[in-house]
Amino acid sequence: MRHQFDVVIVGTGIAGLTCAIYLKKAGLNVVSMTKESHISDSNTFHAQGGIVASKDDDSANLLREDILNAGCSYNRIDAVEYFVKYGPPLVFDFLVNDVGIEFSKSSKGDIDYTEEAAHSVKRIVHFEDHTGDKIEESLIDYAKKIGVKFLVDYTAIDLITNNHHSRNTQELYKEREVMGIYALNNKKDYPETFFAQNVVLATGGIGNLYYHSTNPVSATGDGISMAYRAGADIINAEFVQFHPTSLFHRDIKRFLISESLRGEGARLKDHKDHEFMYEYSEMGDLAPRDVVARSIYDRMSKTGKEYMFLDIANYYEGSIPLEKRFSKIYSTCKDGGIDITKEPIPIVPAAHYFCGGIKADIKGRSSLKNLYAIGEAACTGLHGANRLASTSLLEGLLWGKSTAEDIIQKKYRINTKRFSSIPDWEIPSDIEEFDPLLIDQDIKAIQLTMWNYAGIIRTEKGLRRAEADLDYYSHRIMRFYKSAKLHKDIIELRNSVVCSSLIVAAALRNTKSVGCHYRSKSN
């Protein structure tokens, strides 16, 4: 089946939804696509802490300093300037005033600003401790109300470019242009062709490449891998941010214990009830998260333990009762047999956020014509070598808007006659059957390789080992991919191995420790 749109947006987190809303309001023919069965199934949905927003005692200068300090001044300056000026007010102008979100209030009835590590003022608004699902669901409702078209259960396979796909040989000699995407209709097991004047990749991050992650299993770097195959620039791939505190539990996986607990006083402790963070940083428990994650990892290695503890029970002094302020963490831990009002929470660091990605400017433009990247899939340079907490939702929001604005005012349009030279996705004649067990096994092997050799602390030897292992997996997976019946899991597996290789190659190239890329000299 062949479709045609002004804009195809892949991914339905905060960045993709915001972009779709602005485009639709301007009257463009836009479709928002997700590989999941529910529109809300995105990384945004799981965000807990909150979103940086304007506040009277804050300033663009202060926020700029905090972002640059966390990012080790590896940040792209124009992106930081743009963010600190236009980002914080947008939370009130768009999310509160247009979309109608009501963030949590203090007992006095004012907006309850909270703190997280490395922020010099309390500038984060939140909805209890599940800000992400509140924003995600509100944006979906709003988008539906204004008539945004959604397609669920469609897995993007590859970008269509003139150079790669056209049967008109003259297209080979033209500048490379993105003309749409091939996507698998998961329900009908059939690839469809989506032509578009512009494609926006808002596919989120790569957390699922790691054994411990706060991300959902869908975070397999799909957009980054697609953009890479089409020839777009991918940058800063060595910067994988590890969150210091995910729940360590036999049955509950991928559950974040928000940094805002430490913002509200919680302390990290070892198995002897000893607070250890001041041994690693004068900022103690509120040191930047790369420092905290490494400190916990170091403590785990030195004591031979698989986890440490976070104690909020003995330190919380907030005006909102603990069970309400952290309602989701409270109830999830309670379900797992832990009462956070009475006892410390077992935690382990986990892959959380990708600071690298598809190179994009302040209008979301990638290095390929007609291709935009926003949200975690993009690397705008805002975060530099390490992201300041609670800036990612706002980055998605702001770049969703700026990208839509760029597309709306864009004069260039592809002559749609050129689409007729693009064939549909070719299905191999001799199809190999799909074995879910093998796919699962391969994903697990990648996750362990990445966790052990390209994780919180990296060595030359470990990275070389990861490179060799990934070469082997990649060879096998690519061969299988060519002959296998297309399936969402296979597409994700291919994307996972491509992104893992990009991360390891970048980590090997950058021999200096900076931000969340830490190279140990020991090997």
Which residues make up the interface to ligand SIN (CB under 6 A)? 48-49, 258-260, 352-353, 389-390, 392
CB closer to ligand SIN out of 203 and 390? 390
- Least gap, CB of 258 to ligand SIN (angstroms): 3
Q: Using CA atoms, how far apart are residues 333 and 313, in angstroms rounded to an integer?
A: 13
Please count the other Cβ atoms lying within 10 Å of the Cβ belonging to residue 306.
9
Smallest gap from residue 198 Cβ to ligand SIN (A) = 28
DSSP state of 11: -
3-state secondary structure 43-105: HHHHCCCCEECCCCCCCHHHHHHHHHHHCCCCCCHHHHHHHHHHHHHHHHHHHHCCCCCCCCE
CB of 358 to ligand SIN, least distance (A): 20
d(CA 289, CA 388): 8
Q: What angle do CA 92, 410, 82 make, to 5 degrees?
A: 40
DSSP bridge partners of 198: 7
Q: Give catalytic status of residue 299 as yes or no.
A: no
Nearest residue (CB) to ligand SIN, 191 versus 349: 349
> In the complex, what is the shortest distance from the CB of residue 50 to ligand SIN, in angstroms, rounded to a whole number?
7
Q: How far is the CB of 393 from ligand SIN (least distance, A)?
A: 7
| Catalytic position from the list 123, 267, 289, 458 | 289
- Least Å distance, CB 394 to ligand SIN, is 9
For residues 103 and 353, which CB has a smaller minimum distance to ligand SIN in the complex?
Answer: 353
Q: How many Å apart are CA 239 and CA 512, to the nearest integer?
A: 12
**Secondary structure of the chain: what % helix, strand, coil (to 5)?**
40, 20, 40
Reported as type and span, the H/E element at residue 150 is strand 149-151
Closest CA to 130 of 256, 314, 252, 267: 256
218 CB neighbour count, 10 Å cutoff: 20
Q: Which lies closer to ligand SIN via its Cβ, residue 35 or residue 352?
A: 352
Give the number of other CB atoms < 10 A from CB of residue 518. Answer: 21
Q: Classify each residue of 346-374 as buried b or exposed e, where b means 16 or more C-beta atoms within 10 Å of its C-beta.
A: bbbbbbbbbbbbbbbbbbbbbbbbbbbbb
Looking at residue 177, the DSSP 8-state letter turns out to be B
Q: Closer CB to ligand SIN, residue 80 or residue 389?
A: 389
C-beta of 389 vs 514, nearer to ligand SIN? 389
Q: Which residues carry out catalysis?
A: 289
